[in-house]
Amino acid sequence: MDVTMQQNGIQERGAPNRFTGWARSKRYIINIIFACAAIALEIYYSICAGACSYLKGDIAGIDLEYIGIAYMASIMLLSILKKDILLLVLLSAGVGIEFYLIGFQIWYNTYCPYCLAFAAIVFILFLLNAQRNRKALSIVAMGLALILFSIFFKGSVVPSYVLEAPCITTALQMLDGQTATPRLVHKA
C-alpha cells in the first residue's frame, strides 16, 4: 500500500521516503552527531572495567580505541568539508573492518556492547551516506579494508587483570612467541 502525498508542489511517496529524504538532507549534521556519540563510546570503553576489558586489539601497536577516535574525527572532518567520495570510502572501509571485529567477537564468544554500539554507528553512517552510483567503490573499499585489517590486526581475549600479572604476561608472551602484546590462542 503506497500512499502518494502532495506537499509544497512536490509529490512524495509515503512517510519512509519523506524521513530518508530529510535524513539525507541533514546527513552532514547527523554524521557529526553520530561521530561524537561514537567518540564518547570509545572514551567510556577506555575506562570500562567490565566484560569489555577482556577484548583488546591493536594495529601496529596502536590500540583500536585510539584508532576509533581518529576514525570518527576523520568522519567529522570529511562531513564538515562535505567530501562525499572520501567519506563514502572511509565509511565503506569501516564497515569491512567492523565485519571482521564482529566476527572476532563471535569466534571467541566474548561480546562488548560498546564495540557493537560503535559498529552500529558505523553501519548507520554508511547507510546514510551510501550512494547507488558508487556501489563498486564501496565494495572494493570494504573488501580491501577487510583483507588488510585481517593481516595487520592483533587481538586478544584475555582479562586485563591477567595481563597485569608479570608472570602470566611473560608466560603468554613466550607461548605466543612475541614480546609485545600477549594473545590468547583459540584451540578447537
Domains identified in the chain, total number? 2
Residues 130 and 176 in one domain: no
Residues 145 and 174 in one domain: no
Residues 16 and 93 in one domain: yes
Using CA atoms of 163, 168, 174, 175 in order, give the dihedral in degrees to the nearest 10: -90
Residues 134 and 177 in one domain: no
Q: Domain range holding 98?
A: 12-157
Residues 119 and 176 in one domain: no
Residues 63 and 85 in one domain: yes
Residue-wise pLDDT for 142-168, tens only, equals: 999 999 999 999 998 876 555 454 544
Element (H, E) at 10: strand 10-13
Q: Which residue has the cell 530529510?
A: 22
User: DSSP state, 134?
Assistant: G
Residue 5 included in any domain = no
More confidently predicted of 114 and 124: 124
Contact indicator for 101, 157 with CB cutoff of 8 Å: no
Maximal CA-CA distance, the chain: 74
CATH number at residue 54: 1.20.1440.130
pTM of the model: 0.73
